[in-house]
Amino acid sequence: MDPQYLFMAIAVFGASALQSATGIGFGVIAGPVLLIVLNSRAAIQISIGLSLMIAAVLVPSLWRNTDRLLLLRLLAGSAAGVPIGLAVFLSIGIDHLKLLAGLAVLFTLVFLFRPGAGAKAAGAVSAGAETAGAKRPGKLEQILLGAISGVMSGSLAMPGPVPAAWMSARSYGKDTIRATLLSLFIFSYLAALALQAIMTDIGRETLRHGLILAGPALAGVIAGHFLSHRLTERAFRWVLISVLTATAAGLFLSSIPNLVAR
């Protein structure tokens, strides 16, 4: 196998395993790797397509754990956010996109590091406990959250980090976070992919890369499914913090030097 394909396959496998286990991770790991290897905006299109496939595989078995009221509000915001994200994707350079995404992810870490944040989530043991422990904010806040997620979906194929951090800080349990985010992704990625097909060109080479990487992605889904049953609430929270921190650092390191050099 071509070393480049092997590198991408390993990254896609690991990213899809994390996505399957936690509800986030694919876009923030596989997306940047594909950007580095392919050096093309096609990397975002491939990431969107694979993420949609992963969500479609996982959602049927997780739907019962979805917070449906929150999901509806996130969807309402995402419907407005995805087109805005695509406009951003088409109008500014890759380095600026990475910088903006890094700032957004860094901002969400504030919620996770607040004193006491996630303490109730660490003790939640059932869907009922999660609902009782979760703080229910206003409708507008949740719609705005969905809009931010939609913007990041349309621009960088990264709809998960912001709502994941918010839900963890609001004491939602890991099963609810995982199910609700993956259900949201079905819409976000489908809308983003449709707009990409309408507004930009999805070439044969992009489709070929996506088909080749679909195998490692599905294998990662299976591995992540087994991993999800071994993650405690506390471990899940620290996985989120680690992924978000690594994401912000990677985005800054890959964008700021190029922007400063101009």
pLDDT tens readout for residues 165-177: 888 888 888 889 9
Q: Which pLDDT belongs to residue 80?
A: 94
Give the C-alpha separation, 171 to 167, whole Å. 6
CA distances from 5 to 1, 23, 32 (A): 7, 25, 15
- pLDDT at position 134, please? 46
Q: Structural domain tally of the chain?
A: 1
Residue-range definition of the domain harbouring residue 196? 3-261
Q: Within the chain, which residues score under 70 in pLDDT?
A: 1, 108, 110-137, 233
| Closest C-alpha to 20, from 173, 230, 226 | 226
Residue 69: per-residue pLDDT: 95
Q: What is the pLDDT at residue 185?
A: 93
* Residue 141: predicted pLDDT: 92
Residue that the structure tokens 């500014």 belong to:
92
pTM for this predicted structure: 0.79
Hey, how many other C-beta atoms are within 10 angstroms of the C-beta on 135?
Answer: 9
Position of tokens 């087109």? 83
* Token couple for 39: 């050096």
- Are the C-beta atoms of residues 98 and 170 closer than 8 Å to each other? no
